[in-house]
Structure 1
């Protein structure tokens, strides 16, 4: 069974969208095609919308600042993960980013465990820049948002 994630594409007038960069050593030197919307995995039977709201707060360190959620549907990433997303108008100070952390053995086979933030950077960008930075499949969320905004 494919893993499932849910997230929120926050936007503000312009339009600009909020994208985040995964933390940790595997993404340290990656940029184009490595960013994502604030999102996270959820368990079978869990409400994806509730998971998206929870994951937004965990990844950026502040409760969801938006209001109404626009459904953006689902995409399948190259790794097989299914991502469901919503969009909402809101604002977020990228300097206030405070992501939760995860722990892994690093360096590999060293026996030492280190903590890294799930997200190490956040960026407001125009739709074209977002499409370049986002994981390829997630770029569809930007297009779907623009269609809904007219």
Structure 2
């Protein structure tokens, strides 16, 4: 079986004072409800070739946040491999978004475990604008590389 692949969009903006801010999503469902560190992610989702990763990133953004993906050029931030083996590919897009405007997609799972009760949960339960330092403290560890790459590319004038 091939390793799973995900693609996503990392929105960024210039915050108050011109500092960089990135939009992160807190993973939904009971497994993440009480966690902060390592429970945030770039809005992303799985895809299977022949779907193109950039198209999957836009589709998943819309599915997870309930909003159309932002228009504008995407700055490729490359891939990371997460602890579980999944490869994540991300593009950064400069855009603003009101965190209160999201209408997250949902998923179903049996909860509590072995109860036989199927419940519906949001894929993400909230989004927030974060400084790079805040993002590094909240993100799934491997995804911190995307924030670092974005900051480096912007500092280089890209």
Q: TM-score range by the shorter chain?
A: over 0.9
What aligned pairs does 1:123-134 form with structure 2 within 5 A after superposition? 123-134=128-139
Match of 1:63 among 56, 60, 68: 68
d(CA) in 2 for partners of 1:75, 1:54: 20
Indicate the residue corresponding to 1:90 in structure 2. 95
d(CA) in 1 for partners of 2:32, 2:107: 14
SS at match of 1:122: strand
Please say if residues 66 and 91 of structure 1, whose CA atoms lie closer than 8 Å, have aligned partners that are also in contact: no
- Structure 2: which 5+ runs fail to align? none
How much has 1:25 moved relative to structure 2? 0.6
1:109 aligns with 2:114: yes
SS at match of 1:123: strand
1:8-53 C-alpha deviation (Å, 9 max, x unpaired): 1000012100000010011011101110000000013210000000
Q: What TM-score, normalized by structure 2, do the two folds share? A: 0.93
d(CA) in 2 for partners of 1:132, 1:45: 34
1:99-135 C-alpha deviation (Å, 9 max, x unpaired): 1100111111111110000000100010010011000
How much has 1:97 moved relative to structure 2? 1.7
Indicate the residue corresponding to 1:119 in structure 2. 124
Please say if residues 94 and 122 of structure 1, whose CA atoms lie closer than 8 Å, have aligned partners that are also in contact: yes
Q: What TM-score, normalized by structure 1, do the two folds share? A: 0.97
SS at match of 1:45: coil
**Two-structure CA RMSD over aligned residues (Å):** 0.8
How much has 1:66 moved relative to structure 2? 3.7
Indicate the residue corresponding to 1:6 in structure 2. 7
Indicate the residue corresponding to 1:41 in structure 2. 46
d(CA) in 2 for partners of 1:60, 1:111: 28
